[in-house]
Structure 1
Amino acid sequence: MTAVKGFPAFPPQRAGARFATSWWGLAWIKAMEDTSLDHTLLRKGRAYAKTGQVGPIAVSPGRLAATTEGEYDTVVRVAQLTDAEWERFLDQVAAQSGHIAALLDGEVPHALVEAAEDAAVPLLPTVGDLEPECDCPDWGHPCKHAAALCYQTSWLLDGDPFMLLLLRGRGRTELLEALQLRDAPTPAATGMSALAAFSLGVPPLPAPPPVAVEYVPLELEEAAGVDVAALKVLAASASARARDLLSGGSPAVLTERQDRVRLAAEHDLDIGDAPAVLAWQYGGPAGLEVLEHAWTPGRQELARAEAAWQREELPPVQAARNRWTLGSLQLRLGRDGRWYPFTLREGEWWPSGAPERDPAALAY
């Protein structure tokens, strides 16, 4: 039997942190949530998963296990594939070299899952495939502890799709060894199979890049009519932008106001406009733009954000163009596709944190 794989406990996550981001991780969560009849326990499970109430996770064929909330033994069982099902699955993997290459690259191709389903091999779990067990007093199916374990497992699946195969009965090593015993697909005249390519090993890394030259501040003497402090700031700024250009970057062309705010943000200068300086520190030109200008996003952009918001069961917001307001919190969608948080201070909206792609991550 494949050895058990252990994973350290996930630390508490920031408020609004997402679970699965891969489509197969989302399918895992859906299989668990569709089985549940108690959404309150699911909500508690999400909270337990994000606040670090799940201990180290052990993954083995057909079994997930962890100690939750410090005292409960929680297990989630997954139906293992039979030997016949594994043979049919390996046939589908071996049929296209791209399938194993994608798995090794951390992806689960839709085409592979569809081909497995056509061969009557259930790779992804569906309703009823996950069987939770826990010695807590909850009667839910799953209880909040098993739900928390499943939610955290979605992070493991995002990081390594071979975890899904291990739960179905075979780990990475067994799968690769079984594939090596099969005839590889005939390589094209100008290429080779994925298995042959991966067997070549990892080439040596290139030489490290040259050490960057550290900027040495100018040593200037006081002179009549010369603001030495300002000159030092300008010299440091010009040096930084020159390094960007020399390293292949292309610093954006800034307006006079943007450049003034940039200098204040980078060199702790007081220009009498603290919100603008904060906006630059959190988001650069895009942060300043979203502070000072409202705009009307496309419906598709807002629909994705609304779906993420509803998935976390967050309260409704007051929406106006690119701005969502929830009490003393306001989220503003920038033209760069990121949401910027603002808080209300004495009747004025101030930037209050770094932007996120998912507005739900900023809701707490």
Structure 2
Amino acid sequence: MAEGWGRPIRVPGGLRARSRRGRIGRTWWSQRFIAALEELGIGGRLQRGRTYARGGQVLSMTLTRGVVIALVQGSVPEPYRVRIGIRAFSEAEWRRVEQVLAEQAGYAAKLLAGRMPTDVEDVFAAEGLRLFPADLHQLGMDCTCPDWAFPCKHLAATCYLLAESFDEDPFRIFAWRGRERAELLARLRALRGVAAEPAAPPVPALADRLDSFWTAPGAPAPPPAEDTGDWALDELGPLRSGAHDLTELLRPAYRAMTGR
């Protein structure tokens, strides 16, 4: 049976849109993404996908650099494979954008706090870039279903769930355009000159501590070699043999050997 003539096969555990009625997308950036698609002239067709998005027909969705891949269950047993591609910005383009973001304290502060600046699109526009697609040529959208309508309901459902994923984490928009969250924030910190945590004081090398390593806590360390004098003999205390003090007898020989 061709897709479109039967009811979709219900599957447990599918991805469901949180919105149960009305618009899908609660933040300005997810709504901006949907609005961008509607501006491309496919708004009417997008609405076909709301039932699929809310009914859990999207089985999985992954976002990587420049591409979103989803599996959507239709009315035939084998799920359809959906792809939504977009051009990832080059390294040079991202470097220019990051420089501007870092130079403006407001932009950097919001992004480092995990929030999306409301006018962040202006930063990209100033560099000749569009964060959200401006025309259909900037998107590559296809589905393995036989529906010739564009977008089909499987693509439309994926677009809605993609918008909701942007609600959860706005940095996914940047990741789709080629910059992961961790790398972007690290670049902003570096450009802002955020000081690193102070390094721990160096631990003295064992070779530098041999003279006191075995000294009991609180006991004075023995004097260094160049100032020892006769301290070794004094540590021995008096050693007597009959009427002779062996310690004193050894002292001239000890001084001769030590050059003192």
Same fold (TM over 0.5): yes
Aligned residue in 1 for 2:161: 152
Aligned residue in 2 for 1:58: 62
The structure 1 residue matched to 2:53, chosen from 49, 52, 60, is: 49
Instruction: Describe the shift of the 1:37–1:19 C-alpha distance in structure 2 as closer, same or farther (beyond 3 A).
Output: closer
Aligned residue in 1 for 2:21: 16
Aligned residue in 1 for 2:103: 95
Aligned residues of 2:17 and 2:161 also touching (Cα < 8 A): no
The structure 1 residue matched to 2:147, chosen from 138, 142, 148, is: 138
Matches within 5 A, 1:149-228: 149-184=158-193
In the alignment, the residues of structure 2 paired with residue 144 and residue 91 of structure 1 have an alpha-carbon distance, to the nearest angstrom, of 40
Aligned residues of 1:89 and 1:121 also touching (Cα < 8 A): no
Q: What letter matches 1:167 in structure 2?
A: W
Tell me by how many angstroms 1:36 deviates: 4.1
Q: Is 1:31–2:36 an aligned residue pair? A: yes
In the alignment, the residues of structure 1 paired with residue 84 and residue 58 of structure 2 have an alpha-carbon distance, to the nearest angstrom, of 13
Q: Is 1:124–2:132 an aligned residue pair? A: yes
Tell me by how many angstroms 1:120 deviates: 1.4
Tell me by how many angstroms 1:123 deviates: 1.8
Instruction: Describe the shift of the 1:95–1:35 C-alpha distance in structure 2 as closer, same or farther (beyond 3 A).
Output: same
In the alignment, the residues of structure 2 paired with residue 115 and residue 13 of structure 1 have an alpha-carbon distance, to the nearest angstrom, of 31
Matches within 5 A, 1:97-112: 97-112=105-120
Aligned residues of 1:36 and 1:142 also touching (Cα < 8 A): no
Matches within 5 A, 1:281-360: none
Aligned residue in 1 for 2:230: none
In the alignment, the residues of structure 2 paired with residue 9 and residue 17 of structure 1 have an alpha-carbon distance, to the nearest angstrom, of 21
In the alignment, the residues of structure 2 paired with residue 102 and residue 22 of structure 1 have an alpha-carbon distance, to the nearest angstrom, of 15
In the alignment, the residues of structure 1 paired with residue 35 and residue 20 of structure 2 have an alpha-carbon distance, to the nearest angstrom, of 22
Instruction: Describe the shift of the 1:33–1:14 C-alpha distance in structure 2 as closer, same or farther (beyond 3 A).
Output: closer
For residues 247-298 of structure 1, the C-alpha deviation after alignment (integer angstroms, 9 at most, x for no partner) is xxxxxxxxxxxxxxxxxxxxxxxxxxxxxxxxxxxxxxxxxxxxxxxxxxxx
In the alignment, the residues of structure 2 paired with residue 137 and residue 117 of structure 1 have an alpha-carbon distance, to the nearest angstrom, of 37
TM-score using structure 2 length: 0.62
Aligned residues of 1:46 and 1:148 also touching (Cα < 8 A): yes
Q: Is 1:84–2:84 an aligned residue pair? A: no
Q: What letter matches 1:68 in structure 2?
A: V
Q: Is 1:69–2:73 an aligned residue pair? A: yes
- Per the alignment, in what secondary structure is the counterpart of residue 66 of structure 1? strand
Q: What letter matches 2:54 in structure 1?
A: K
Instruction: Describe the shift of the 1:51–1:170 C-alpha distance in structure 2 as closer, same or farther (beyond 3 A).
Output: same
Aligned residues of 1:17 and 1:50 also touching (Cα < 8 A): no
Unaligned runs of 5+ in 2: 1-12, 199-260
In the alignment, the residues of structure 2 paired with residue 140 and residue 153 of structure 1 have an alpha-carbon distance, to the nearest angstrom, of 20
Instruction: Describe the shift of the 1:118–1:38 C-alpha distance in structure 2 as closer, same or farther (beyond 3 A).
Output: closer
Aligned residues of 1:92 and 1:112 also touching (Cα < 8 A): no
Which of 1 and 2 has greater Rg? 2
Question: In terms of mean alpha carbon deviation, does 136-145 or 146-155 score higher?
Answer: 136-145
